[in-house]
Structure 1
Amino acid sequence: MTEAAYDERPRRRGRKVLVGLLVLLLVLVGLVVLADRIATGVAERAIADQISQELTRQQASAAQPEVEVGGFPFLTQVAAGRYERITIGLRDVKGTVEGNSVDLPVLDVTARDVTASLDTIRSGQGDVVAARVDGSGTISYDSLAGYLDRPGLKLGERDGKLSVTAPVDILGQQLTVTGAAEIAVSEQGKVALRFSELDAEGLPNVPMAQVLLNNYARSISIDVPLPELPFQLTVRGVTPRPDGLQVSADARDVPINSVS
């Protein structure tokens, strides 16, 4: 056997060992990733169950919460006691405020910079705190119109404004009133509606007709209370959208092991 053949055999053995080590490394990485994803899934389900329980306490209902714990690896975050973000998606939220039904087709919440010690995770005792929580939800126009309590009244979005259409009897004539509202968040956290740009085609050209139209505008200019939001969220702004009134909210230094 030649000297070259002897040299080739160790090289082959070396390559086989190297390939074997690489395969073993990939398997170990895969197992670590799998374990990390399993742990993440357990945490996400636990958070979803807690939120469902809190919604029930608030006499509200929704589809099963969609929870995602962000950042990778998850187990490293557990060991450090700090999590990058936790996102929560709620769909078809239904609640009651002052006897009126409130529908939020969408409510998305993101908690950032969440801290929780390993002992807290193990025991379930102690504080889990988010440095910042942001929320964005949509209130259906039908729910909003329910507070105005005017038969036939419809709300929507037109040119970025909250629009209204409603049948109104003025001086014995059935007219269709149209217009837009200024909207804002009041100091009490309610949605303030102010209808000051109403018109009605065919409105009689007499002072009393305009007085009646103005009275109608004042009657539907109200402050609409919002349902209690989770995570101590405070409403900061409202924007009309085609699918409903979009509400933005936030909170700081929020304990999230109780979502009330």
Structure 2
Amino acid sequence: MRALRVLLILAVVLGGILVGVDRLAVAYVESEAAGKVRFGTVRPESTDVDIKGFPFLTQITGRRFDEVDVKLTGVQTSAGGQSIRIGELTAELRDVTLDGDYAIDRARTADGTALIGYDDLAAASGHEAKVEYGEGGKLKVTGGVRVLGRMITRTVTSTVTLVNGNTLRVRADSVPGEGMPGLEQLIRSRTDFDRRVEGLPKGMRLTKVEPRPDGLAVMVAGENVALTAP
């Protein structure tokens, strides 16, 4: 009976050691992977990698992870030739394979969300406009034009849509007028814009756009997504 008790204690101790080694190994690889993961040509200020599943050592021996979560913060990319900052981009990667150096190489599928602050969206518009969150899934866009020496400013309710799987389109639902010919088009020249989002990995596409109080959420998805530098 004493021998059985000793064996049980040893099993518990060894099990704890193995779990500890497994968790140390995953922490090390996550830290290394954060510096090597490349999400297209975007340039993040920081990258966090969270490798799911247990045991980790079995997964890395097979050069494959079932699930990896990646969070990029302070992402710089471009939209329609204009630089645009994405505050945070999170992605859930599935069926992730490793290259010969055990670095994350490719994901069979990827789903994520890019959150663009409204000040950053306004800066990317190329206009001197102010963009804010509006009720009911809309945007509020404020723009002004000078007519005959007088500055005319309008705040419009705008709808943002996704075009061709890669372009954000912002259009005013209507423009309040004063009976002045051509005023609507002048205001729209400051409030309406299209911006094609560039720099995502090959195989990734925009799938949905949704205004939220904390920013414009752009959902992305892809298949066979490369995650290392070419």
Cα RMSD for the two superposed structures? 2.8
Q: Does 1:224 align with 2:206?
A: no
Task: Extract unaligned runs of 5+ from structure 2.
Answer: none
Corresponding residue to 1:251 among 215, 222, 229: 222
Provide the C-alpha distance between the structure 2 equivalents of 1:182 and 1:161, rounded to a whole number of angstroms.
5
Question: In the superposition, relative to structure 1, how do residues 181 and 244 fare at CA in structure 2: closer, same or farther (>3 Å)?
Answer: same
Q: How does 1:173-212 map to 2 (within 5 A)?
A: 173-187=150-164, 189-199=166-176, 204=178, 206-208=179-181, 211-212=182-183
Q: 1:147: which partner in 2? A: 124
Q: Which amino acid aligns with 1:90?
A: L
Q: Does 1:114 align with 2:85?
A: no
Could you tell me whether the CA contact under 8 Å between 2:91 and 2:111 is conserved in 1?
A: yes
Question: In the superposition, relative to structure 1, how do residues 72 and 59 fare at CA in structure 2: closer, same or farther (>3 Å)?
Answer: closer
Q: 2:205: which partner in 1? A: 234
Corresponding residue to 1:86 among 58, 68, 88: 68
Q: Which amino acid aligns with 2:35?
A: D
Q: Give the secondary structure class of the aligned counterpart of 1:31.
A: helix
Q: Does 1:21 align with 2:3?
A: no
Question: In the superposition, relative to structure 1, how do residues 231 and 28 fare at CA in structure 2: closer, same or farther (>3 Å)?
Answer: farther
Tell which has more relative contact order, 1 or 2 (C-alpha 8 A, sep 6+): 2
Q: 2:83: which partner in 1? A: 101
Could you tell me whether the CA contact under 8 Å between 1:238 and 1:248 is conserved in 2?
A: yes
Q: Give the secondary structure class of the aligned counterpart of 1:181.
A: strand
- Structure 1 stretch 90-99 or stretch 28-37: which is displaced more? 90-99
Q: 2:50: which partner in 1? A: 68
TM-score, scaled to structure 2: 0.85
- Structure 1 stretch 190-199 or stretch 103-112: which is displaced more? 190-199
Could you tell me whether the CA contact under 8 Å between 1:195 and 1:218 is conserved in 2?
A: no
Q: 1:9: which partner in 2? A: none
- Structure 1 stretch 41-50 or stretch 165-174: which is displaced more? 165-174
Question: In the superposition, relative to structure 1, how do residues 218 and 87 fare at CA in structure 2: closer, same or farther (>3 Å)?
Answer: same
Question: 4+ runs of 1 displaced by more than 4 Å?
Answer: 96-99, 125-128, 170-173
Provide the C-alpha distance between the structure 1 equivalents of 2:9 and 2:79, rounded to a whole number of angstroms.
60
Q: Which has the higher helix share?
A: 1
TM-score, scaled to structure 1: 0.76
Question: In the superposition, relative to structure 1, how do residues 253 and 224 fare at CA in structure 2: closer, same or farther (>3 Å)?
Answer: same
Percent sequence identity is 28
Task: Extract unaligned runs of 5+ from structure 1.
Answer: 1-13
- The CA deviation string for residues 84-137 of structure 1, in whole angstroms up to 9 with x for no partner, is 200011112234556633111110011112245xxx5xx328994422111211
Q: Give the secondary structure class of the aligned counterpart of 1:214.
A: helix
Could you tell me whether the CA contact under 8 Å between 1:133 and 1:231 is conserved in 2?
A: no
Provide the C-alpha distance between the structure 1 equivalents of 2:26 and 2:166, rounded to a whole number of angstroms.
35
Q: Give the secondary structure class of the aligned counterpart of 2:53.
A: coil
Provide the C-alpha distance between the structure 2 equivalents of 1:245 and 1:170, rounded to a whole number of angstroms.
32
Provide the C-alpha distance between the structure 2 equivalents of 1:126 and 1:41, rounded to a whole number of angstroms.
14
Q: Does 1:50 align with 2:36?
A: yes
